[in-house]
Amino acid sequence: MREIVVSGIGIISSIGNNIDETYASLLEKRSGIGKIEILDTLRRDEFLLGEIKLSHEQLIDFAEVDSAKAWTRTALLGIVAAKQAIKDSGIEAKNCSLISASTVGGMDRSELYFKDFLTEAKHKSYIDSHHAGNSTEMIAGQTGIKGLITTISTACSSSLNSIIFGCDLIKSGKAKTVIAGGTDSLSKFTLNGFNTLMIHDRELCRPFDESRRGLNLGEGAAYLVLEEKSAAIAAGRKIYALVAGYANANDAHHQTASSGDGKGPFMAMKNAIEMAGIKPKDINYINVHGTGTENNDLTESIALKRLFGEKIPDFSSTKAYTGHTLGAAGAIESAISILALDKSVAFPNINFKSPIKETRLIPVTEAKKLKKAEHILTNSFGFGGNDSSIVFSALKKKTSGANKPKLLENPVFINGSGCVSPQNTLNNNYLHDNILEHDRNFLQIVKPNYRDFIDIKVLRRMSKIVRMGMVSSATALQEAAIEIPDAIMTATGMGCQNDTEIFLSSIIDDKEGLLAPTSFIRSTHNTVSGAIALAQQNHSCNLTFVHRTFSFESALLNSMMMLNNNKAKNILLGGFDEITEVSWLIKTKIEFFKTDPINNLQLFDDKQKGALAGEGSSFFVLSNEENDKSYAKILGVSMFFRPENNEEIKHKVLAFLNQYSMKAKDVDLVIMGFNGDQEFDDIYRNIEKDLFAETSRANYKHLCGEYDTSAAFATWLAAGILKENKIPEAIIREKTDKDSICNILVYNQFRGINHSLILLEKV
């Protein structure tokens, strides 16, 4: 297999604004956790945080960006770390891909201006920056990155998963160089959220200590430059480490708490070590997840003993230095782990006094010179039971000289699907009749009878978007005759919007007073995927992508890579988003959505600015082999960011088709994402005029509305057309006289910024 190395590191946290300052703080046992000075919270005197002691204005200067633009703290931290990584490596950024991670996105600005967004919207320039993908796009814009970009959000394991995905992209030949990591800033939302769970310590956190009472939150960002070893050597770059092994697993126990037997953490560590081709005894040091909470540290201790027996390597948690930096933690601690490898040192687990009585494990408490530093393991575990581990190894002096594998992009087969939408699509009715007409501000799903799919005991605790995902995923699995898939890949632009709005409003209205934890727990982007895994008791790989109209396409790409590399035989793939009165109202302030009610079947004649908002959930069971359930196959998927003009878009479309030995005239049907926004619908008009004037063309957003993962609905529709060899009259824009439909191209874009292509073919 292709060997991936780290050739650049960038990091900023409460213990240092770069890698050298970070290393010095670790050796000197200098924690960055202290009294709150930057975050504007009414709880200033109650808690300790790992703050970066730069105000918003100072951080703008430090990041060297245009002060006139609307920046979130999350984006600024990411820009600082990414620039450092690029400079450290000496790569040319424009040729790189960027895989970033975040849990809070632009919450640091949203919580300041949320009420204003609902009224006068004086600060409307910050509305779109709430999106988790915004920071990724800001980083790309400030560094000149032109390759594939996307964002992952799997709670506290997010950025470790971004590194894993980045490695897989290179191994699959989808990227040559990847900048991977994550960024998160402190916010009142997370501070109060973790306080409602009663796991935020009011004193300095004490990971793996018997007296531990919770975590201290922190903020920061870190990015690694990943590239193939041979390319790094040829370029003469410094190679910090080999990314030798990695794995993601799911605990499938509880949305926030980890299991008593540590199955998820155990599987993540075990599988990462096996991928590295080594034994547990070969690990020289472990940077553990170690949050300082009672549940997490006990579970991780149990998992360590289960895997390593009585010969547990030196280990420590560095969260007592930085605080828990949430989505950035995996990347920050990867940088620290690489430092441990590079300097042959195990860093102290500060504040430790007494071992946990159940396991009696004692971490390293002073900086310790490692006798051998060949293999370092780092862990990141998150809400939804999402657990990830990576093994970083020292580069061997003699390389293996193994031949590069022949890169294949085989099609994947759709063996089942399920769709909940504003139409009667639940029973895979492919819209040949009974098209629903709506006169309203936004389109909402046709509500299923949830009791037919979900146990009544748990149904009442589920939010709407979770119910949507549970129903559509169950339908897909049933059609494919699969009970438990080998992996779960999900996508959402905004996640559980309703729960986020409820908790955010409560913080403001109740002045950070008595708050209920339920909405906070459900506000994470990977809530749906975690709920599905929990219901299935599915411990396999489980990722959630959250980058606007790249969300579903990124999850699809990862699914195809896993199936092509035989990491799975079947995968449950889904895309889902919900619309609320609040989210619709806020987005009308920046003309993303139409203000006045509209008949959805007259959408394309409407002259209002913006799109018709909608929602939906579409799931698929994908397989790497055709079987008697297969009715369509996906040949490929492509994404491109900020094309300069229509000519570049045209070139990208033709280049994509050329990969499959096709020209524009060979496409039987193009399904395009016209959404009624006259300004941006012109992009589709230009493409159909230049490339597809003689091709059958279709619309779909008048049926489902505009939302980040609407391409999943279009893919569901395309699969149904191939299955039945019939185009629904309700979607036809222009039809040729071809007798059969053998292939379909789905083309979607977001306001001229994010463009995606999905190519399907009849089985």
253 assigned to active site: no
The C-alpha atoms of residue 524 and residue 379 are separated, in whole angstroms, by: 20
Q: Which residue among 130, 131, 200, 324 is the active-site one?
A: 324
Q: What is the DSSP string of 410-460?
A: --EEEEEEEEESSSS-TT---SSS-----EESB--PPPP-GGGTS-HHHHT
What proportions of the chain, in percent to the nearest 5, are helix, strand and coil? 35, 20, 40
The token pair that represents 134 in the structure block: 């915004």
547 assigned to active site: no
763's CB contacts (< 8 A; 6+ apart) are 413, 626, 630, 631, 632, 633, 722
Q: Which residues of 424-443 are buried (b: 16+ CB within 10 A; e: fewer)?
A: ebbebebbeeebbebeebbb
H or E stretch including 663? none
Q: How do 487-491 and 570-577 pair as beta strands?
A: parallel
Q: Which residues of 62-79 are buried (b: 16+ CB within 10 A; e: fewer)?
A: bbebeeeebbbbbbbbbb
The token pair that represents 350 in the structure block: 């500060």
The C-alpha atoms of residue 170 and residue 163 are separated, in whole angstroms, by: 11
Query: Which residues of 190-296 form beta strands (DSSP E)?
Result: 220-228, 241-250, 285-287
* Nearest partner of 97 among 33, 40, 145, 45, judged by Cα: 145
The C-alpha atoms of residue 276 and residue 266 are separated, in whole angstroms, by: 16
Helix (H, G, I), strand (E, B) or coil at 488: strand
Residue type, 743: N
Helix (H, G, I), strand (E, B) or coil at 256: coil
Q: Which residue among 200, 253, 289, 525 is the active-site one?
A: 289
Q: Which residue among 156, 205, 496, 541 is the active-site one?
A: 156
Distances (CA, A) of 387 to 160, 302, 484: 9, 15, 18
324 assigned to active site: yes
H or E stretch including 465? helix 464-480
The token pair that represents 100 in the structure block: 């970033």
Q: Which residues are catalytic?
A: 156, 289, 324
